[in-house]
Amino acid sequence: MSEVPDSQHVLDDVVQREYQYGFSSDIEQELLEKGLSEDTVRFISAKKQEPEWMLEWRLEAFRTWQRMKEPTWPNVTYPVIDFQDIIYWAAPKKKEGPASLDEVDPELLATFEKLGIPLDEQKMLTGVAVDAVLDSVSVKTTFQEALKKVGVIFCPMSEAIQEHPDLVRKYLGSVVPVGDNFYAALNSAVFSDGSFVYIPKGVRCPMELSTYFRINARNTGQFERTLIIADEGSYVSYLEGCTAPQRDENQLHAAVVELVAHQDAEIKYSTVQNWYPGDAEGKGGIYNFVTKRGICEGARSKISWTQVETGSAVTWKYPSCVLKGDHSIGEFYSVAVTNHYQQADTGTKMIHIGKNTRSRIVSKGISAGRSQNSYRGLVRMNATATNGWNYSQCDSLLIGDQCGAHTFPYLETANSTATVEHEATTSKIGEDMLFYCNQRGIDTEAAVALIVNGYARDVINQLPMEFAVEAQKLLAISLEGSVG
């Protein structure tokens, strides 16, 4: 007696691919002891030889944080975090400051090489300048000289504090205030490094800027701080990528990103987030609690967020736009994938203040395994936002029947001339679709990748070309073994 092969079984048996960035590097680390106090903050500030004003800023943030409570409203659950059980400073040990690449620890270069981020400028993707941040410290920023020629500043945040204190003092915390939320306050107190970008008036940044974040050390948190300022009439496209080693324990990542777009300026900010998501049983993984916000300060300015989120055990993240300038534009394009036991509560906020401001939200959630994927978005039309316009499209794609997709749209309109449109769909990758692909010779894994990339196409198309290809592969990899 023979049976038609049960493709359900075939799907069930598909091997799970390991998280391919899960290695850890044997780099000599300088670690602070676990725990958080004013002394920790002072230590970090001293380590970075920061000016007094910076220390004061951090201490105020720390005191604010102590009075705050962890938010419980996101649709995610995780054990209580013991903030005294985290290391707040880890740095690759180095001899006196490496001036050139030759002096950087070869093991460290090998780490970035393994991640596909060669720091050797000769080997770089043409037109992409990279700042690489390992644990708490920025390791190497490439193409600085070429950028300097056109007046673009692209450097580690710690260097900006030393070299461009006026810009940092003016803008740091201007978009995400110290006391904005629990994790933003924590970040403000203990942030170690991150990237700083300044594009002068009328300059179109000649290359993509990119920061690569990597958590390596055990038990450490990563708290990076990014600040991008696009002065009048300038343009910049910025991309961040993130990975972490595979570890049994959860690690905390609490970043803050602030964007400022002046009159007629445009900032395009793209993220491919692939922090370690935990294993198939939900053990380990990164807690990704991030505050990202941009302000369209001047008239006709534009900020566009594009994110492809496949990693992290728990994600809590709402890249937002404050549309202050008249005729300014905010955009949010997101693909969030959750598999196994991952939880994501992500979305955006579009705050319309100026007249004729426009925003567009395209969110594509993909849930597989036993994961939970929530879209949470706020569109607010202030009384001043005459003729404000928003269009939101929130789609959910379910793979299997043990995952969840949730949508929490909040609409607040205080101006009767404003238009707010919201569309939402939920669909499933059906057996019919998979069988159709199989019948054409496409195996199930490839079929899922094909279908998901089709579903996410509107968002992927927003990414710079080099990264769109990476993002497509990443989507396919994170969903391997998800059907069944």
Partner 1 sequence: MTPILEITNLHASIDGNEILKGINLTIQPGEVHAVMGPNGSGKSTLASVLAGREEYTVTEGTVVFHGHDLLDMSPEDRAREGLFLAFQYPVEIPGVSTANFLKSAVNAQRAHRGLSPLEPAEFLALMKERMALVEMNPAFLQRSLNEGFSGGEKKRNEIFQMAMLEPTLAILDETDSGLDIDALRIVANGVNAQRTPHNGMIVITHYQRLLNYIVPDVVHVLWNGRIVRTGGKDLALTLEERGYDWIKTESSVEA
User: Taking the mean position of all CA atoms in its chain, how far away is CA 330?
Assistant: 17
| Least gap, CB of 358 to partner 1 (angstroms) | 24
Build a one-symbol-per-residue string for 6-25: x at contacts with partner 1 by CB under 8 A, - elsewhere: xxx-x---------------
d(CA 272, CA 474): 9
Q: Of residues 298, 455, 472, 476, which one binds partner 1 by CB under 8 A? A: 455
Contact 209, 239 (CB under 8 A): yes
Residue 248 burial (CB < 10 Å; 0-12/13-18/19+)? exposed
| Least gap, CB of 67 to partner 1 (angstroms) | 47
**Residue 40 or residue 444: which is nearer to partner 1 going by CB?**
444
**Residue 129 or residue 336: which is nearer to partner 1 going by CB?**
336
Q: Is 456 in the site for partner 1 (CB under 8 A)?
A: yes
Which residues neighbour 302 within 8 Å (Cβ) at sequence distance 6 or greater?
261, 265, 266, 267, 296, 328, 329, 330, 331
**Residue 242 or residue 335: which is nearer to partner 1 going by CB?**
335
Which residues neighbour 392 within 8 Å (Cβ) at sequence distance 6 or greater?
360, 361, 362, 363, 377, 379, 409, 420, 421, 422, 423
Helix (H, G, I), strand (E, B) or coil at 63: helix
Cα–Cα nearest to 221, from 112, 129, 135, 311? 135
| Least gap, CB of 122 to partner 1 (angstroms) | 30
Q: Is 3 in the site for partner 1 (CB under 8 A)?
A: yes
**Residue 329 or residue 476: which is nearer to partner 1 going by CB?**
476
Size, binding site for partner 1 by CB under 8 A? 31
Within 303-362, the residues that bind partner 1 by CB under 8 A are none
C-alpha distances out from residue 309 to 64, 82, 117, 296, 475, Å: 30, 26, 19, 24, 9
Residue 69 burial (CB < 10 Å; 0-12/13-18/19+)? exposed
Could you tell me the two tokens for 346?
A: 């992500």
Q: How many helices (H) and strands (E) does the chain have?
A: 12, 23
**Residue 122 or residue 439: which is nearer to partner 1 going by CB?**
439
**Residue 143 or residue 455: which is nearer to partner 1 going by CB?**
455
**Residue 27 or residue 463: which is nearer to partner 1 going by CB?**
463
Q: Is 5 in the site for partner 1 (CB under 8 A)?
A: yes
- Residue 460 sits at the vertex; the CA angle it makes with 289 and 351, to the nearest 5 degrees, is 50
Q: Is 446 in the site for partner 1 (CB under 8 A)?
A: yes
Q: Of residues 335, 451, 463, 483, which one binds partner 1 by CB under 8 A? A: 451
| Least gap, CB of 333 to partner 1 (angstroms) | 14
Q: Is 453 in the site for partner 1 (CB under 8 A)?
A: yes
d(CA 357, CA 380): 11
Build a one-symbol-per-residue string for 405-444: x at contacts with partner 1 by CB under 8 A, - elsewhere: --------------------------xxx-xxxxxxxxxx
| Least gap, CB of 264 to partner 1 (angstroms) | 33
**Residue 79 or residue 441: which is nearer to partner 1 going by CB?**
441
**Residue 5 or residue 79: which is nearer to partner 1 going by CB?**
5
| Least gap, CB of 447 to partner 1 (angstroms) | 8
Which residues neighbour 400 within 8 Å (Cβ) at sequence distance 6 or greater?
368, 369, 482, 483, 484
| Least gap, CB of 484 to partner 1 (angstroms) | 12
**Residue 44 or residue 476: which is nearer to partner 1 going by CB?**
476
**Residue 414 or residue 446: which is nearer to partner 1 going by CB?**
446
3-state secondary structure 106-134: HHHHHHHHHCCCCCCHHHCCCCEEEEEEE
| Least gap, CB of 10 to partner 1 (angstroms) | 6
Q: Is 39 in the site for partner 1 (CB under 8 A)?
A: no
**Residue 255 or residue 456: which is nearer to partner 1 going by CB?**
456
Identity (one letter) of the amino acid at 182? F
Q: Is 458 in the site for partner 1 (CB under 8 A)?
A: yes
Q: Of residues 450, 466, 470, 480, which one binds partner 1 by CB under 8 A? A: 450
DSSP 194-247: -EEEEE-TT-B-SSEEEEEEE--STTB-B-BEEEEEE-TT-EEEEEEEEE----
Within 270-309, the residues that bind partner 1 by CB under 8 A are none
Cα–Cα nearest to 372, from 456, 282, 264? 282
With contacts defined by CB under 8 A, name the span among 104-112, 168-176, 199-207, 452-460 that binds partner 1: 452-460
Q: Of residues 457, 466, 470, 477, which one binds partner 1 by CB under 8 A? A: 457
Residue 123 burial (CB < 10 Å; 0-12/13-18/19+)? exposed
C-alpha distances out from residue 323 to 297, 298, 388, 459, Å: 7, 9, 10, 21
| Least gap, CB of 467 to partner 1 (angstroms) | 19
**Residue 4 or residue 80: which is nearer to partner 1 going by CB?**
4
- Residue 162 sits at the vertex; the CA angle it makes with 159 and 166, to the nearest 5 degrees, is 115
Q: Is 454 in the site for partner 1 (CB under 8 A)?
A: yes
Binding site for partner 1 (CB under 8 A): 1-8, 10, 431-433, 435-444, 446, 450-451, 453-458
